[in-house]
Structure 1
Amino acid sequence: MKIIVSKEIASVCPEFVGAAVEAQVKNTAYCEALWDEIKVLQAEVTQTLSNELLKELPGIAATRRVYKACGKDPSRYRPASEQLMRRLLQGKDLYQIDTLVDLVNLASIKFGYSIGGFDADKLVGQTITLGVGRDGEPYEGIGRGVLSIAGLPVYRDEVGGFGTPTSDHERTKMTIETTHLLVLINGYDGNEQRVADNARYIQELLKRYADSDGGSVTIYK
């Protein structure tokens, strides 16, 4: 898969760097060992962070700045990493969906980046472009219904938008049948080393919990 960062994104965030992890996987409904890891990180988050400190984390702060630069209110359309950690700070557990979704959520919380996980076999074409959502552009967020993505960074394939830092699209979502995974890490803070570390961490999680060899990593900017 070729991933292109559009001039729209480069103009508001020239330092952007992303990482794609592509792998063959086996999904399961639940993984107890994975959830043991999630609970350890959950305790760490609740003991060390507050809602104010959360907004200052580099990955989240940079994503919020890009939202504002593109014309979107980041407090109304929060980046997914911020949504997840705010939920933990409210004393709530993460939603348990399936192993692939839970694994991506763990990686997002650990590094503070909004991460999209997709069933790669549902993508159309060989090129993905990261651009900015337009007025009236159709988009159905997972569990959210119709979502206005005008002013949101959005990944598009040949059919249209399928991933934003706030919510991914129903069309390309992972299911229990997913065997070909694509994960996209959004580093709006420009920290290539941390983005790469996040990708390698996902590879290790896939090896431990998704019967995978970890697949390949591509850095794009």
Structure 2
Amino acid sequence: MDVKISKELSELRPGAALMVLSYEAEVKESSAELLALLDKTIDNIHSRYTMTDLAELIHIKDTRTAYRNLGKSPTAYRNAAEAMLRRIVKGNGLYHINNVVEINNLISITTGYSVGSYDTDCLSGTVEWKRAPDGESYLGIGKDILNIEHLPTLYDEKGAFGNPTSDSRRAMISPGIHRISSVVYSFSGNHELDLIASQYQELLIAHCRAKEIDVKIIS
């Protein structure tokens, strides 16, 4: 997936960066081993953090600041990483979806970065990460119409399809063998993304039979 960051987004939020992993994977129900790893991580976070602690995590703070810079309320439209961490601290855990989504969530809750995965066969042309214009919306996964105006959103030639709060249904992944692009959304620069890429690739290979993995960091 060829991705660029708009000049407006970079100017409004210096430090905006993306890590994009493109690969082929078998999307299916998560193995007992992967679910055990996820549940162990959830238990550790639940015992370790309070709600007050979450607000002080650097990547959560940086994302909240970015949303305010872009003109979006970070509490009315929480980024996915913060929303999941809040569920965990409250003792509500996370839903089990499939192996690719479980790995997304594992990376997200351990780093504080929101992550989205997209079926690249559903996308077309160059992708741009930019501030969504006034009045913009789309059909969200598990939601009805989602107001995405002013959110930092991914666009291809067909329109908007993903952002750090909630993705659209258009490029959602389904069971089977697919070409996928997973995007780590950062507002804290790119200095940690290489290490996360290594961890991410190990999980994808171990639990999704991922191959032909390509990693790009854009800032």
Q: Same fold (TM over 0.5)?
A: yes
Give 3-state SS (helix, strand or coil) of 1:26's partner: strand
CA apart distance, 1:196? 2.1
Q: Secondary structure at the match of 1:219?
A: strand
Between the aligned partners of 2:146 and 2:88, the Cα distance in structure 1 is: 24
Question: Is the 1:204–1:214 Cα contact (8 Å) retained in structure 2?
Answer: no
- CA spacing shift, 1:154–1:130, aligned 2, 3 Å: same
AA matched with 1:140? L
1:117 alignment partner in structure 2? 117
**5+ residue gaps, structure 1:** none
Moved beyond 6 Å, runs of 4+? none
Distance 1:53 1:63, change over 3 A: same
Deviations 1:142-182 (A, max 9, x none): 11111111111001000011111100110000111351110
Counterpart CA distance in 1 for 2:40 and 2:205 is 19
Q: TM-score, normalised by structure 2?
A: 0.96
| Aligned-partner residue type, residue 58 of structure 2 | P
Match of 1:167 in 2: 166
Structure 2 segments unaligned to the other structure (5+ residues) = none
1:204 to 202, 207, 214: 202
Greater percentage in strand: 2
Which residue does the alignment assign to 2:65? Answer: 65
Q: What amino acid is aligned across from residue 204 of structure 2 in structure 1?
A: L
Structure-2 change in CA distance of 1:11 and 1:52 (3 Å): same
Equivalent pairs: percent with the same residue?
32
Which amino acid in the other structure matches residue 90 of structure 2? Q
Number of residues of Structure 1 aligned to a counterpart in Structure 2: 219
2:17 and 2:130 mapped to 1: Cα distance? 14
Q: Is the 8 A contact 2:137 2:149 kept in 1?
A: no
- Secondary structure in 2 aligned to 1:186? strand
1:214 Cα offset (Å): 6.3
How is 1:62-211 mapped onto 2 (pairs within 5 angstroms)? 62-125=62-125, 127-190=126-189, 192-211=190-209
